[in-house]
Homo-oligomer: A and B are copies of this chain.
Amino acid sequence: MHGGDVYSDENPNGRDLIDFSSNANPYGPPESIYKIQGEALEHAMKYPDIEYRLLRKEILTHHNLSNVSVVLGNGAGEIIDLAIRGIESILILSPSYSEYEESAKRYGVKTSYLEYTHYQIEEKKYQLKIDVDDFYRKFESVDAVIIAHPNNPDGSMLDFKTMNSIVEFAKENNKRIIVDETFFDYSIGKLPFTPFLEENIDLVIIKAITKFYGLPGIRFGYGLCSREETAKNIRSYQRPWNINAYAEKFAIECFKDLDYKMDANITNREERSWLVGHLLELNIIERVYMSQGNYILFKLKNMKAGEFREELIKEGILVRNCDNYKGLDEYFVRIAVKKRSENIKLLSALKK
């Protein structure tokens, strides 16, 4: 159901696999994180500020925002969950992150679905796109939409025109837009939804730092809400002190390291493009989807993803079988973009 499944009852410490199923930054956290461990431990010996004033201030500074309400979560999933809770009905695109549907189910939120169009760019190269007319027809009859930007599992993004027109539509028709930008940090140069927070609209943008900064075990994400009312509603479901001391310290530290961000982007773009090039050459692969994230979706030609995954485990590699994504059939696989040495191992295994 989720990536990162290297653990099992037989191997509770985790199997010795190269994990291409999870999307955490393979280069590990910024150097400075190692240096502030002692400080973070000191910090953990006190109760956190129940309002996390410093952290919220740093988040606003990081995004150069004001007049925006910040909500904090023990992982981005908490904010996704609570942004969906409390609405009546939601439009979910497919394929997309399965937790959106899980959250809707959990709180009895009615769901409707819109399938992405599988648009062919050139031979074997594909991209997921939204059919805008279909989108509005469906959006009209619900209270909210959730969009992953870039989308998971394929890494597609919206162009400015589409973003702007969705925002205008939501404004006129009084809808909530929830944007999951937990992988946006890999998309430097692309437009985030954050500038729209200043519009008179009910917009919630969810950000994460732990994946991008190589610290998925830290559990921290946050939401930027254009409306204080929405933020209040989200907070009303939260318990006090939901953010741990390490998350607080590490987040603030990560924000400072702009070089890390730039380097990670350059490296990821390079590796992704190298990997895509090689995947396109493989006969077992029917399609590769163009991604703005640090992961790549592809479709197999003659082998089902489940079997493919099992074969690769024998080679010491774990990939994400996407057959449980709504809107994808049993031939889809997602891999993470990792270090060159690991990417080479993956390609050798694929050639086998």
Contacts and interface: CB of A to CB of B under 8 A. Distances in A.
Contacts of A46: 4, 6, 14, 19, 22, 24, 216-217
A161 to B, nearest CB: 34
B77 A240 contact: yes
Interface residues of A, number: 57
Max chain B Cβ within 10 angstroms of own Cβ: one of A34, A38, A57, A219: A219
Nearest to A19: B46
Given A237-B106, A244-B218, A245-B218, A7 B78 contact: no
How many copies of this kind of chain does the complex include?
A: 2
A38 B54 CA distance: 26
Given A41-B33, A239-B78, A53 B218 contact: no
Max chain B Cβ within 10 angstroms of own Cβ: one of A3, A22, A245: A245
Given A106-B237, A246-B244, A246-B246, A47 B78 contact: no
Interface string A149-165: 00000000000000000
A115 interface: no
B34 A41 contact: yes
A95 interface: no
Interface in A240-254: 240-248
Max chain B Cβ within 10 angstroms of own Cβ: one of A38, A45, A242: A45
A45 B244 contact: no
Nearest to A80: B239
Nearest to A34: B41
A7 B50 contact: yes
Contacts of A38: 37
A75 B245 contact: no
Given A22-B47, A217-B43, A241-B75, A53 B4 contact: no
A47 B237 CA distance: 25
Interface in A20-37: 22, 24, 28-29, 33-34, 37
A198 interface: no
Contact of A219 (B37, B57, B236, B244): B244
Max chain B Cβ within 10 angstroms of own Cβ: one of A6, A12, A44, A106: A44
A50 B218 contact: no
Interface of A: 2-7, 9, 12-14, 19, 22, 24, 28-29, 33-34, 37-38, 41, 43-51, 53-54, 57, 74-75, 77-78, 81, 99, 106, 214-219, 236-237, 239-248
13 contacts: A4-B50, A19-B46, A22-B47, A24-B46, A29-B41, A45-B216, A74-B244, A75-B242, A77-B240, A77-B241, A106-B237, A218-B245, A246-B246
The 7 A-B pairs with the shortest beta carbon distances in the complex, nearest first, are: A217-B245, A4-B47, A44-B217, A7-B49, A12-B53, A219-B244, A12-B54
